[in-house]
């Protein structure tokens, strides 16, 4: 078996196994060879790479990664796909399929057991209903991931990639860009999937920085500050930061002044550097 991705090849596998697509598991399989190649390029895949894939489906992207990378561990929740994957990936002994739910599995344990402790790249066409929890799990749980190259709904990619003072800029933009440099890798309109979803997609690359770019004294306070600032988007920072729950109005004023931020500004105008400075000032009060 060479490639699986063309519409015909995918149809053949699906028909042969009488596979029933599950909408609730976000099963929209990619059938465009060009986009698959772009994903591999975006991930700068090489023969020393250890890859985690979430949701291999029938193994279309998995096969192409298995041909290049050192190892691929593909985590698939749907047990009806396991016998299909055993067949479509049979000739690749560096690929292992794990029948688990990505949100419940101990990813670090898997990496230690099957991928020599990492570092790893996460490369996947993600199930849309849990895109953000998956990406944040990899970024926040100290998993040794260097690059995340994933197909996501266009709107989510726009939010991850957004700059301050744009309509898409929000807590997700700050959370992702706090850790990563972002890059739009490829567009994937809805007709490139079967069954066709009712949204368009984008492959986004999140390249985790080796060195921290922002000086944050307390990450917990940083993320709480970001959350409160975007919590009520139309409020000024002076008002929205009240949502933190532990600062008086005077303390908020003082922190904003010390961070050189006008109290009438709204959270959506703050750069990540400004959020970092502000949270460092707020942190001084929380530790008093």
Task: Out of 35, 40, 43, 61, name the contact with ligand SAM by CB under 6 A.
Answer: 61
110 near ligand SAM, judged by CB under 6 A: no
Nearer to ligand SAM, 38 or 213 (CB): 38
Least spacing, CB of residue 27 vs ligand SAM, in Å: 5
The residue of the chain with the least Cβ separation from ligand SAM equals 55
Give the count of beta carbons closer than 10 Å to the beta carbon of residue 268.
Answer: 18
| 191 in Cβ contact with 200 (< 8 Å) | no
Least spacing, CB of residue 204 vs ligand SAM, in Å: 14
Residues 6+ apart with CB under 8 A from 111: 50, 52, 117, 118, 120, 143, 144
Nearer to ligand SAM, 24 or 287 (CB): 24
205 near ligand SAM, judged by CB under 6 A: no
204 near ligand SAM, judged by CB under 6 A: no
Site string for ligand SAM, 20-39 (x = CB under 6 A): -----xxxxxx---------
Residues 6+ apart with CB under 8 A from 268: 164, 165, 169, 170, 230, 233
Least spacing, CB of residue 132 vs ligand SAM, in Å: 13
Site string for ligand SAM, 73-102 (x = CB under 6 A): --xxxx--x-------------------xx
Least spacing, CB of residue 130 vs ligand SAM, in Å: 6
Nearer to ligand SAM, 96 or 263 (CB): 96
Q: In which residue are the tokens 């060195």 written?
A: 211
Q: Is 76 annotated as a binding residue?
A: yes
Interacting residues with ligand SAM between 136 and 165 (CB under 6 A): none
56 near ligand SAM, judged by CB under 6 A: yes
Least spacing, CB of residue 246 vs ligand SAM, in Å: 35
Q: Is 239 annotated as a binding residue?
A: no
125 near ligand SAM, judged by CB under 6 A: yes
Residues belonging to the binding site for S-adenosyl-L-methionine are 28, 30, 55, 76, 101, 125
User: Which residues in this chain contact ligand SAM in the complex, by CB under 6 A?
Assistant: 25-30, 54-57, 60-61, 75-78, 81, 101-103, 125, 127, 130
């Amino acid at each position: 078996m060479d490639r699986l991705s063309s519409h015909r090849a995918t149809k053949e596998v699906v028909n042969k196994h009488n596979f029933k697509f599950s909408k609730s598991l976000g099963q929209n399989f990619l059938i465009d060879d060009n986009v698959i190649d772009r994903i591999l390029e975006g991930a700068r895949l090489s023969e020393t790479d250890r890859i985690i894939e979430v949701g291999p489906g029938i193994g279309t992207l998995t096969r192409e990664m298995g041909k290049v990378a050192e190892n691929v561990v593909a985590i698939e929740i749907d047990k009806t796909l396991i016998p299909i994957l055993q067949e479509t990936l049979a000739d690749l002994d560096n690929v292992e399929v794990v029948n688990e739910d990505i949100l419940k599995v101990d990813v670090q344990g898997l990496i230690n057991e099957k991928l020599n402790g990492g570092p790893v790249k996460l490369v996947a066409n993600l199930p849309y209903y849990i895109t953000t929890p998956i990406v944040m799990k990899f970024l926040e749980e100290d998993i040794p991931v260097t690059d995340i190259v994933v197909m996501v709904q266009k709107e989510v990619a726009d939010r991850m990639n957004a700059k301050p003072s744009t309509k898409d800029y929000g807590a997700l933009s700050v959370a992702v860009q706090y850790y990563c440099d972002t890059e739009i890798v490829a567009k994937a309109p809805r007709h490139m999937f079967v069954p066709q979803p009712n949204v368009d997609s984008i492959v986004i690359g999140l390249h985790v920085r080796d060195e921290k770019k922002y000086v944050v004294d307390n990450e917990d306070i940083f993320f709480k500050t970001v959350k409160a600032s975007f919590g009520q988007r139309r409020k000024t920072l002076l008002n929205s930061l009240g949502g933190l729950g532990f600062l008086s109005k005077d303390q908020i004023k003082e922190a904003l002044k010390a961070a050189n931020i006008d109290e009438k500004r709204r959270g959506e105008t703050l750069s990540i550097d400004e959020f970092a400075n502000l949270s460092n000032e707020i942190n001084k009060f929380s530790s008093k």
